[in-house]
Amino acid sequence: MKHRFCPGYDDPPFDDLAGDYPGEDVYPAEDFRTEWGPIFHRGRLDGSARVLILGQDPATHESITRRILVGEAGQRVQGLLARLGVTTSYVMINTFLFSVYGQSGGNRHIKDSAIAAYRNQWLDALLVRDEPEPALCAVITLGSLAKSAYHGWATTRPDRAAALHLATLKHPTYPESASAKGGITLAAATAALLEDWNAHLAGLRDHVPPEAPVIDKPYGDTWQDGDLVAIPEVDLPAGAPSWWTSLEGWAQRTGTTAQLKRATITVTIPAAARTWPPIGD
């Protein structure tokens, strides 16, 4: 086997979850990009995950790879996991199955019961396993909506929730979103994010058994070389191009009007992966 890949949703209960997901009656199209389809997860569905990451919603790269948290946010999370000595023993789902459209769509729907009901089916499938003994011992939430979503599930399964270590982190793209809103610079928001993540490292290391050497080093107050880690091939579908794991961005929303921009994603192979013989024009 030269390439490892994510086997997808062939086994129960994930076959049913991937076959019967909420549509536009639950996720209104004015607030969610339902047109790009649901994107369910990334990581292990076979019970071997030691930590669950609950993210917010998918974006451009995820709409192409059909797995969540593969763009820059995901690479920052992958780097956090590496600091815990976790390389592949995780599973990630999002608060929302579809990409949020607009600034406030997420806040508007965080309490929707039908959205929560489906999300809780996933959380039950991942967190409540009778056999074998659950390997999963910690939950990381990314951002306030994920934290709220997790607490919603925890009230339905208080005994299981009590046995899980919970780390409620700032969202990996908090620096960009907070500074775009104004009132804080990108540099200050980055430092705040990294300070927040540092504060959670010790607790996570106490609860998550590492599978690789722990990187026992705190974050600085800016992103450093090595803080972002490439997505492993085993998280992506069979035959995934190698640059889908790249640290360079390769998918963006294009289109000359807002209407066309919602309809369009342009995929451009990163320069470093253009390894074919040069083409003259």
Closer to its own copies by Cβ: residue 184 or 273: 273
Residues 6 or more apart whose CB falls under 8 angstroms from that of 182 comprise none
- What pairing do the DSSP bridges indicate for beta strands 90-94 and 42-43? antiparallel
Of the candidates 220, 226, 237, 249, which one interacts with its own copies according to CB under 8 A? 237
Q: Which is nearer to its own copies, 157 or 262 (CB)?
A: 262
Whether the CB-CB separation of 211 and 235 falls below 8 Å is answered with no
Residues 171-190 within binding reach of its own copies (CB under 8 A)? none
Q: Which amino acid is at 72?
A: E
Minimum CB–partner distance for residue 124 and its own copies (Å)? 18
d(CA 77, CA 135): 20
> Position of tokens 């794991």?
245
Positions 85 through 104 that interact with its own copies (CB under 8 A):
101
* CB-based contact 87:48 (threshold 8 Å): no
Smallest Cα–Cα separation from 14: which of 62, 56, 59, 46?
46
User: Which of these ranges, 108-116, 187-195, 206-214, 265-273, lies near its own copies under the rule CB under 8 A?
Assistant: 265-273
Q: Total residues at the site for its own copies (CB under 8 A)?
A: 62
Given 40, 150, 153, 174, the residue binding its own copies (CB under 8 A): 40
Residue position matching structure tokens 């309809």 = 263
Question: Do 28 and 112 meet the contact criterion of CB atoms below 8 Å apart?
Answer: no
CB-nearer residue toward its own copies: 34 or 190: 34
Look at residues 231, 262, 261, 233 and name the one whose alpha carbon lies nearest to residue 248: 231
- Shortest Å distance, C-beta 270 to its own copies: 8
> How far is residue 212's CA from residue 48's CA, in Å, rounded to a whole number?
15
275 binds its own copies (CB under 8 A): yes
Among 180, 242, 248, 249, binds its own copies (CB under 8 A): 242
Among 15, 177, 186, 218, binds its own copies (CB under 8 A): 15
The values of phi and psi at residue 100, to 5°, are -70, 135
Question: Per-residue contact track with its own copies, 44 to 83, x per CB under 8 A?
Answer: --------------------x-x-----------------
Interface contacts to its own copies, rule CB under 8 A: 1-5, 7-11, 15-16, 18-21, 23-24, 29-30, 33-40, 64, 66, 101, 237-244, 254-255, 257-260, 262-269, 273-281
